[in-house]
Amino acid sequence: MSMIYGERVRLRAVEREDVKKFYEWVNDPEVTRGLALYLPMSMTDEENWFNSMKQRDPKEKPLAIEVRKGKGWKLIGNCGVFGIEHVNSSAELGIMIGDKSEWDKGYGSEVMTLLLRHCFETLNLNRAYVRVYTENIRAVRSYEKAGFVLEGRLREAVYKIGKYEDVLFMSVLRSEWVSRRKEE
């Protein structure tokens, strides 16, 4: 797959040299607050994760998120499509903006919009969804901006930082994506 370009971001294949930054980010409690991670990760864990990508379906390999900085590009996180259900034409999306200096700049919604375009125009899916913790207001807003609709809530479904928290399911259907594209 070639790179996926947006207005300010691009999505590219993850490279071995990205692993060092990912290791830094997945061990930052502020970054992992909104992720399913809850234990410290070693550099070996991250390298094993990278090496395991060779066995993944190419459609489910994670993508590095980069933003344009001057004449170059800066790595700020990763994202991907996973859990593809071919019979149902459905998949889950995930994102991590690990570089906190790039938070609150709208990159998350742009990345999710690019992932949705990839899901519907390249992978021929009918439904894309995310799971998000209720306290991750930044992510919920980002997903709504990209067109995600609340489907439901799993009450007290995750235990993070000493308390139970609800998990929201949000999705976009192909028909909604097509309709939204026509309006733009």
For residues 108 and 9, what is the distance between their CA atoms, to the nearest angstrom?
10
Q: Which amino acid is at 70?
A: G
pLDDT given for residue 68 in this prediction: 95
Number of domains the chain contains? 1
Q: d(Cα 51, Cα 33) in Å, to the nearest integer?
A: 25
**Residue 53: predicted pLDDT:** 87
**CATH number of the domain enclosing 147:** 3.40.630.30
Tell me the pLDDT of the chain (184 aa) as tens digits: 579 999 999 999 999 999 999 999 999 999 999 998 888 999 999 999 999 988 899 999 999 999 999 999 999 999 999 999 999 999 999 999 999 999 999 999 999 999 999 999 999 999 999 999 999 999 999 999 999 999 999 999 999 989 999 999 999 999 999 999 888 7
Give the pLDDT of residue 38.
Answer: 82
pLDDT for position 39: 87
Residue type, 16: R
| Tokens, residue 37 | 């991670």
Give the span between the Cα atoms of 183 and 163, in whole angstroms. 42
DSSP string, 9-36: EEEEE--GGGHHHHHHHHT-HHHHTTSS
**Host domain of residue 125:** 4-183
Cα gap 113→117, rounded to integer Å:
6
